[in-house]
Amino acid sequence: MSVMNASRRLIRTVSAATALGVGTLGLTACGSGGSGAEEDGKVNVVASFYPMQFLAQQIGGEHVEVESLTKPGTEPHDLELSPKQTARLSEAGLVVYLKGLQPAVDEGIQQAKPERVAEASSYTELKKHGEDVHGEEHGEEHGEEHGHDHSGGAGGEGTDPHVWLDPLRYSKIAKGVGEELAKADPAHKAEYTKNARDLSKRLKELDKEFKDALKSKKSDTFITTHAAFGYLAERYGLHEAAVSGIDPDSEPSGARMKELHKIAEADDVDTIFFEASASDKTAKTLASDLNLKTGVLSPLESVKKDQDYFSVMHQNLISLRTALGAD
C-alpha cells in the first residue's frame, strides 16, 4: 500500500469515527431515537450510488426519502465520505449498497453499523474479473481460433461488481431490496412487494428487448475503455474486450494495446467505446490507429437529470446494435 493510500485510509477511518460521534449527538438533540424515519413518517434510505438509489426510489415510492452518497457526475469508485455522510449511515432506516465497489462506503458501514442493510451482492452471484464470462459456446474455442484471449480486460482478480448492467441480475437485487424495505416498514409491505414485482417485470421486458435486438448481430465483440460490461456481455452472448480493468483509472500496458489491435482486426470491431464522464483519449488513440469510430457506452454509475436506468440502457442497446451490425 502506498503512503498516499495509507494516508487516505487513515483519514477515512478518523472521519468515520468522528462522524459517529457527531451523529450520536445529532440523534440525541433531535430526539429521533435512531428510528430511521423522517418527520413525515417516511423511511430514510441511504443509497451508495445511482443503481442502488434507483431501486430504492422505484420500490419505496412515496413511503421513502432516498439520499445517495454519490452525487451525480462523481466517480463512484473514488468516493470519499464526509463525517456527515457517515453519520447518516448510522441513522438510516435502510442502507442500500454494493459491497466491493466503493471502499469508502464499505469502511463507513463497518464504522457506523447501521441497523438494517440491503447489500446487493448477497442477492445474486458475482464473478471474478478476468474470468471467461461469455460461456462455453463463445469462450476458449473462439479465442483459440483468432489467437487471442477473451478474458475481458487487463489484469485484476477481484470480483466484478457491475451486476446492475444485467437486467435479470438487477431484478434479483430489486426483490431483495423490496424485502428489506418491508422489514424496515411492515405497514407498507404490500406496496413494496408490488412495486418490486412491477420493476422486476420491466427489467425482464428490457432483457427480452436486448435479446431480440441483438439476434441479427454480425459481430459479437465490442471494445471498451472500462471493463464494466462483463455481465451484460455474458447475458447476451457478447465478448467485451476492455482497455483497462474494473478500475477505470488503471493504465493499459503496451502489450494489452497490441492485443486489442489483434482483437479488433480478427473480430471485425467497428467502434471503440468510452464513458461520457471519463477521458476519451485512449479510445480516440486506439480508434485512430485502427481507423475505427468511437462511441459512448454508459456503465450507469451516474445519470443526468433527464435520464434514468431504463432510458440509458436503451441508449446502450442502440449503440451496441449499431457497433455490432445488427439489422
If you average pLDDT over every residue of the chain, what do you get?
81
pLDDT of residue 70: 96
Whether 109 shows a pLDDT value over 90: the answer reads yes
Average pLDDT over residues 13-23: 42
Tell which CATH architecture fits domain 132-153+214-324. 3-Layer(aba) Sandwich (3.40)
Which residues, listed in sequence order, are joined to residue 242 by a DSSP beta bridge?
224
Residues present in the chain in total: 327
Whether 142 shows a pLDDT value over 50: the answer reads no
C-alpha cell at 165: 448492467
pLDDT band at residue 213 under the 50/70/90 scheme: very high
% the chain with pLDDT above 70: 76
Secondary structure percentages of the chain, helix, strand, coil, to 5 = 50, 10, 35
Say how many CA atoms lie within 13 Å of 22 toward its Cβ: 14
pLDDT of residue 253: 64
> Which of 65-74, 114-123, 175-184 shows the lowest mean pLDDT across its residues?
65-74
CATH superfamily of domain region 3-123+170-202? Nitrogenase molybdenum iron protein domain (3.40.50.1980)
pLDDT of residue 128: 77
H or E stretch at 196: helix 189-213
Give the end-to-end CA distance of the chain in Å, rounded to a whole number.
Answer: 49
How large is the greatest C-alpha to C-alpha distance in the chain, in angstroms? Answer: 68
Tell me the range of 94-103, 154-163, 257-266, 284-293 where mean pLDDT is highest. 94-103
pLDDT of residue 41: 87
Q: Where in the chain is the domain with CATH 3.40.50.1980?
A: 3-123+170-202, 132-153+214-324
Which residues, listed in sequence order, are joined to residue 59 by a DSSP beta bridge?
none
pLDDT band at residue 132 under the 50/70/90 scheme: very low
pLDDT band at residue 63 under the 50/70/90 scheme: very high
> What order of strands is seen across the sheet that includes strand 271-274?
239-242, 221-224, 271-274, 293-296
- Using one digit for the tens of pLDDT, what is the confidence trace for 292-318? 888 899 999 999 989 999 999 999 999
Of residues 324 and 285, more confidence is placed in 324
pLDDT of residue 289: 83
Whether 13 shows a pLDDT value over 50: the answer reads no
Rg of the chain over Cα atoms, rounded to whole angstroms, equals: 21
Q: Distance between CA atoms of 117 and 36, rounded to whole angstroms?
A: 12
% the chain with pLDDT above 90: 56
DSSP states of 30-74 as a string?
HT-TT--B-TTS-EEEEESSHHHHHHHHHHHGGGEEEEESS-TTS
pLDDT band at residue 148 under the 50/70/90 scheme: very low
Average pLDDT over residues 136-165: 51
Q: Distance between CA atoms of 171 and 186, rounded to whole angstroms?
A: 22
pLDDT of residue 248: 52
Whether 129 shows a pLDDT value over 90: the answer reads no
Q: Distance between CA atoms of 70 and 48, rounded to whole angstroms?
A: 6
CA angle 297, 300, 301 (to 5 degrees): 125
